[in-house]
Amino acid sequence: MAKPIDRFRDPLYINWLKAARALFCTAEGIRDFCERHMKEYQKDVISRLKCPTDTCTGGTGLCKDCEVLWKKELTSQIHTKTSPCWKNANVTIWDSSAWEVAKVYMTHGQKKVRSAAETDVVGLMQLVHTCGWFNSLVTNVKSFEKVKDIRNDVSHSVHLKVTDTQLGEYIKDMIVLLEDSKELQNDKKAQTAVKELRQIQDLPLEINDTTVLQTEKDNREVELVQIERDMWKTKLDEINKWEPGVTKEEINHALDFISKQTDLSEIFKDDIELLKTKMYKLEKRVTETEGKKMYCFILYQRCK
């Protein structure tokens, strides 16, 4: 069985972890920005929409008529080809929780999330990219879509490897987003994230499992092993939920990789078991379907 130090000798694997950490820092850099502006948007909607039946007094839940008005308003903000995700949000509390409004602009799976702090990088990027309220607050909303794509490439990377060139490009794109000239370039949190990204990029590749990849603002050291665990936890959760972008090749490679690592196979043994069961069921279903297809084909050939 391989020890952590063995995989930490692979510079491309280290780059994969660096990219994951960089994405986390980018999300941290825009959380306050997203939350602040969603509160403003919600306030603006409240000031414009009046309850037709005069029954909603605020904080008690929206009536059906208000729900219709809110849905129309929130839909009008969408300037991309996507549709609002009503399933993500508790529609009756749009007047009291700005983040329930924000979740409408994210893809499904964010129902349990209650705040910007609990939202992952994909959700935050989708919000700014999809919700037109942000159009006047950033120069280029497309850069948010780009970082969302980077996150998907990194998370679903089959071979868990990122080259130096790729890492450089990824970090460059994240910095472009964080240094947006409209507001983010003067935002303290966004600029702290930029510093962190440069710090990550400059780290040497000859590191070991107790290497500190980064020191957080509160001087809490973030060790490489912790970043790795977070990354694997997210990856396995997504694979187990079979999120878009997950491929069979990715699953097989992830299972193979973890099974060879003493520490990771122990930490994630429950996730791995769940995944193996799912894979077994899937293979069985595929074999059965293939079998049925073959049977029909033989019958068809005989009847010809």
Q: C-alpha distances in angstroms, 253 versus 186, 239, 257?
A: 42, 12, 6
Strand 221-223 relative to strand 212-215, pairing:
antiparallel
**Shortest distance, position 62 Cβ to Zn ion, whole Å:** 6
Mask 168-187, x = binds Zn ion (CB under 5 A)? --------------------
Answer whether 99's CB lies under 8 Å from 38's CB.
yes
Question: CB 41 → Zn ion: shortest distance, Å?
Answer: 19
In angstroms, the first-to-last Cα distance of the chain is: 56
Instruction: For Zn ion, give the closer residue by CB, 50 or 292.
Output: 50
By CB under 5 A, the residues from 63 to 92 that bind Zn ion are: 63, 66
Distance CA 82, CA 88 (A): 14
For residues 56 and 258, which CB has a smaller minimum distance to Zn ion in the complex? 56
Give the integer Cα–Cα distance in Å for 14 and 203. Answer: 10
Coil/strand/helix, residue 278: helix
For Zn ion, how many residues bind (rule: CB under 5 A)?
4
DSSP 3-state assignment of 255? helix
Residue 51 interacting with Zn ion (CB under 5 A): yes
Report yes or no: 189 and 183 within 8 Å, Cβ to Cβ: no
Cβ pair 36, 66 in contact under 8 A: no
Minimum CB separation of residue 46 from Zn ion in Å reads: 11
Pick from 56, 98, 138, 258 the residue near Zn ion by CB under 5 A: 56
When the beta carbons of 100 and 187 are compared against Zn ion, the nearer one is 100
Q: Which is nearer to Zn ion, 56 or 231 (CB)?
A: 56
- Shortest separation between residue 48's beta carbon and Zn ion, angstroms: 14
Residue 66 or 91: the one with the smaller Cβ distance to Zn ion is 66
| Shortest Å, Cβ 103 to Zn ion | 21
- For 51, which DSSP code? -
Q: Is 279 in the site for Zn ion (CB under 5 A)?
A: no
CB of 61 to Zn ion, least distance (A): 9
Q: With CA atoms as reference, report the closest residue to 203 among 177, 224, 187, 218.
A: 224
Residue 66 Cβ, how far from Zn ion at the closest point, in Å?
3
State in angstroms the smallest separation of the CB of 225 from Zn ion: 52
- For residue 69, the SS3 value is helix
Enumerate residues 88-147 that contact Zn ion by CB under 5 A: none
Shorter beta-carbon distance to Zn ion: residue 75 or 115: 75
Kindly indicate which of the ranges 31-39, 45-53, 190-198, 210-218 contains the residues binding Zn ion, using the contact rule CB under 5 A.
45-53
Q: For residues 90 and 100, is the Cβ–Cβ distance under 8 A?
A: yes
How far is residue 291's CA from residue 294's CA, in Å, rounded to a whole number?
A: 5
Nearer to Zn ion, 51 or 222 (CB): 51
From 43-51, 131-139, 150-158, 260-268, span contacting Zn ion (CB under 5 A)? 43-51
Interior/surface letters 148-158, b for 16+ CB within 10 angstroms, e for the rest:
bebbbebbbbe
Q: Measured between alpha carbons, how far is 220 from 230 in angstroms, rounded to an integer?
A: 16
Provide the binding-site residues for Zn ion, judged by CB under 5 A.
Answer: 51, 56, 63, 66
